[in-house]
Each structure stands twice: as C-alpha cells, then as structure tokens.
C-alpha cells in the first residue's frame, strides 16, 4: 500500500496530476479547495473534504480498491482544526485521521500541534474501535519547535501516539530522531536555506515492520509547486488481527 501526504499550497486543480503520478492508494492533501477535491471524484477517486471556505481546506482521496466512508459519525465538522477522521474500506479496513494543524487563535499552546494534542487526548475511541488507526498530514510541528510550549508539544504528541502503538514511518525507516531529520518536508518562504520537517505519516507498529520504502520529494523538483514536499510511504499490509492496537480497550468519550 502507498500513502502520500502533500500540502499542495492551494491551486490543486492544476497540480493534481503531479499527485496522481505518485500513484497513491490514499493521499492527504492540506490546502486543497473543495472544487479541486470534487474534480478528483470525477476522475475515479473516493473523496472527503473539510473546510471553512470552499477555497482552502483539507482533502483525503483514495484509489480503487480503497474507498472512504464518510458516514454521519465520521463526517462531522472536526472539533479540532483540522484533525479529521475518515474510515478507509478496502482489502484492510482502517481509520485514517487526516491532519492539517492550523492556528486557531491567540493562545500559542492551542495553535498548530496543540490541536493534534487535544484531538488525541479527547478521542479515545479512535484507538479502540477494533480497527487499525493511521494519523498523517501536515502537523506544522517538530521537536525543535517545542521551546515555549508547556504541555502541548510535538514531543508530547509523538509520545502519546507511541503509547497507542503508532510510530512515524519516516523516523523508523531512516532511523532518525525527531528534531534531527535530514530530509526536510517544508521550506519556509520557499527558501532552501530555511528547511523544516513538518509532515508525518504515523502507522500502527505492525505496519511499520513491513515498510518497504519512504521518500520525501526534492526541493529542486517540487519548489515550483509548493513550499511542502510530498512524503510517500510504501508498506505491506499485515492481517487485520496483527494491526489492531494491543493496549487495553478504552471507553469512548
């Protein structure tokens, strides 16, 4: 299976062929317009989209044989902005939590990764539904940005996900520590001199063991299209039983 995360920096309607060329089974696309997401549906992809304005939101697409289930309980406006769950049905069913961590106000602790921190703490049922969970997208965070945050930090989120048996595919594949990444996924103001690693794909631990390839798009190839580089993860799917969380089941809140 192949999962791709790419913050397209808007104008996805004229960029989507670039993503299609990566041949994702499932892709998470922050900063995608509603109409561009709908265009993907017209080209045979299963699509979900969330946004305050039709011009800029968060999209998830899936290619056959995968399909997105946007039933009422999963299609609600995300409580955190934008941390959105959708069920992915196919050869293996799983819950995908798509992430585009954004600012929400003037309280720094609640902005960006603070939204993901709150979502993971709040939605215990995401990790106790009897199906695997994948969390991926543009986190807009890194361990080097923890300074100044009291509790809702990148390092804390990584630890919380590890407790739920979710690990970063990039860090596992390249044996790198958070905050010491050698392959940037974002270039501030499109400048090669200002690299950051902000985009992540967290998989269940058994899936991590079946990783075959992880790659990050190059600055030279993608700088004309976005300030974010696509992150591509390939892995083989274990059986459903092997991929389920091993921790004690928790009650939904």
d(CA 87, CA 132): 10
d(CA 144, CA 99): 19
d(CA 243, CA 237): 8
Going residue by residue through the chain, which has 253 residues, state the pLDDT in tens, using 9 for 90 and above.
Answer: 999 999 999 999 999 999 999 999 999 999 999 999 999 998 999 999 998 899 999 999 999 999 998 664 444 556 678 899 999 999 999 999 999 999 888 888 888 999 999 999 999 889 876 889 999 999 999 999 999 899 999 999 999 999 999 999 999 999 999 999 999 999 999 999 999 999 999 999 999 999 999 999 999 999 999 999 999 999 998 654 444 444 433 323 2
Nearest to 120 by CA among 154, 94, 147, 93: 154
d(CA 38, CA 84): 18
d(CA 115, CA 152): 8
For the chain, the maximum distance between any two Cα atoms, rounded to a whole number of angstroms, is 47
* Other beta carbons less than 10 A from residue 54's beta carbon: 13
In this prediction the pTM is 0.91
- In total, the chain counts a number of residues equal to 253
Work out whether strand 211-216 and strand 231-235 pair parallel, antiparallel, or are unpaired.
Answer: antiparallel
User: What are the beta bridge partners of residue 96?
Assistant: 86, 134
């Amino acid at each position: 299976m192949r999962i791709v995360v790419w913050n397209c920096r808007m104008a996805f309607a004229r960029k989507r062929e670039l993503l299609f060329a990566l041949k994702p089974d499932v892709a998470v696309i922050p900063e995608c317009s509603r109409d561009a997401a709908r265009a993907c549906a017209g080209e045979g992809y299963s699509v979900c989209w969330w946004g305050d304005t039709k011009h800029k939101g968060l999209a998830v697409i899936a290619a056959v044989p995968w399909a997105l289930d946007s039933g009422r309980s999963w299609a609600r406006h995300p409580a955190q902005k934008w941390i959105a769950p959708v069920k992915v049905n196919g050869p293996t069913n799983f819950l995908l939590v798509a992430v585009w961590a954004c600012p929400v106000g003037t309280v720094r602790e609640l902005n960006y990764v603070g939204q993901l921190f709150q979502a993971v703490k709040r939605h215990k049922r995401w990790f106790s539904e009897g199906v695997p969970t994948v969390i991926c997208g543009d986190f807009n965070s890194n361990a080097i940005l923890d300074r100044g945050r009291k509790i809702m930090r990148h390092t804390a989120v990584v630890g919380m996900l590890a407790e739920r048996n979710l690990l970063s595919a990039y860090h596992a594949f390249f044996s790198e520590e958070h905050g010491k990444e050698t392959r940037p996924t974002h270039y501030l103001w499109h400048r090669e001199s200002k690299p950051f690693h902000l985009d992540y794909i967290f998989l269940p631990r058994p899936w991590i063991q079946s990783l075959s390839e992880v790659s990050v798009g190059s600055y030279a190839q993608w700088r004309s299209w976005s300030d974010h580089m696509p992150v591509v993860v390939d892995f083989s799917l274990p059986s459903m039983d092997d991929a389920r969380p091993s921790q004690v089941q928790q009650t939904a809140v």
